[in-house]
Structure 1
Amino acid sequence: MNLYLFRHGIAAERSDKIHDAERPLIPKGQRRTRLVARRLQQIGLRFDVIMTSPFLRAQQTADILHEEGLGDLPIPLPPLAPTGEFARGMAWLQDWQQNHTTESNVVFVGHQPNLGHWAEQLLWGKVGDRLIVKKAGIIGIKLGNLSHSETNNELFLLTSPKWLP
């Protein structure tokens, strides 16, 4: 099973006027995300499921992935919010893995540093603040059997948007 971790596109700056959860993608963020999505579609990538943080900027990013033909309508997954818990996200992923083929492609659309931390946990078993996902960037991890304590997960993709279009 392949897990893709996709960071939301460039969003409106933080401000006292708008709650963090409601910050939208700015036009440049929409364009860049769409370019990345088109490139992924051109190379034949398709997601079996698009899971997204409930925050607006991540939802808009996930919607673009859907609009560009990369998968069905996105489904909100609360553990993907900036305050989300890794264990809850992994529980969802284990359930998915047990009920679907080993060749499935799942994308989690979320936020940094969470996505980098989740990748580090899956790859090395601990967080080291070393993996950084750029806005509209993507990480791909080939997952072993998540129900085993010793699993061999493999990083196969780590790229920023400037390398895709």
Structure 2
Amino acid sequence: MTTKLYLIRHGIAADPLEYESDRDRPLTAVGQQKTAKVAKRLQELDLHFDLILTSPLVRARQTAEILYHTNLSSHLEESNQLAPGGNIHTWINWLEAWQNSGGSQLALVGHQPDLGNWAEILVWGNVKAAIILKKAGIIGLNLPSSGSPIGNSELFWLTAPKLLL
């Protein structure tokens, strides 16, 4: 069975200059509202995830919680691999175990440029710095049911949040 992977960038976050640590930056009120509208639209499209896996950074966690509370998934977990600079190869090892447990629809909530780079690695096998994911934007990939997903995945969805609002 093919795995559907949705890469979702966190919503609009507070100015980095307002926080001592980048990890602590929350979503702004506008970021929360737009992310909630995107989540509601995904629900209207009958999109649901077996699992939402999120970066531990506050803005990503808040985005994931909005998706979760819109009933897009019954499970929400954090992964340090989704923090900025996370290792896609370590995540792929986790993915293989998750796929073997029967999962087929997965959402990753994280950061740009990492999510765009991961999509490129999964589709083309290397980073081309060509895919830009807007805040609360979504990339959809079909991952192969066997073998490495690197260079063997298929892009089926790339949308900015304004197209979902």
TM-score after normalising by structure 2: 0.93
Q: Which amino acid in structure 2 is aligned with residue 5 of structure 1? A: L
Q: Which amino acid in structure 1 is aligned with residue 154 of structure 2? A: E
Percent identity over paired residues:
47
Structure 2 unaligned regions, length at least 5: none
2:123 is matched with 123
Q: In the alignment, is the contact (CA less than 8 A) between 1:49 and 1:72 conserved in 2?
A: yes
Q: Distance in 1 between matches of 2:38 and 2:108?
A: 15
SS of the equivalent of 1:139 reads strand
1:38 is matched with 40
Q: In the alignment, is the contact (CA less than 8 A) between 1:94 and 1:147 conserved in 2?
A: no
Aligned length: 163
1:162 is matched with 162
Q: Deviations over 1:45-86 (max 9, x none)?
A: 000000000000000000000111101242001100002111
Q: What is the deviation of 1:149?
A: 7.2
Structure 1 unaligned regions, length at least 5: none
1:90 is matched with 92
TM-score after normalising by structure 1: 0.93
Q: In the alignment, is the contact (CA less than 8 A) between 1:59 and 1:74 conserved in 2?
A: no
CA RMSD of aligned residues (A): 1.5
Q: What is the deviation of 1:17?
A: 3.7
- Matches of residues 1-165 of structure 1 in structure 2 within 5 Å? 1-15=3-17, 17-100=19-102, 104-145=104-145, 147-148=147-148, 152-165=152-165
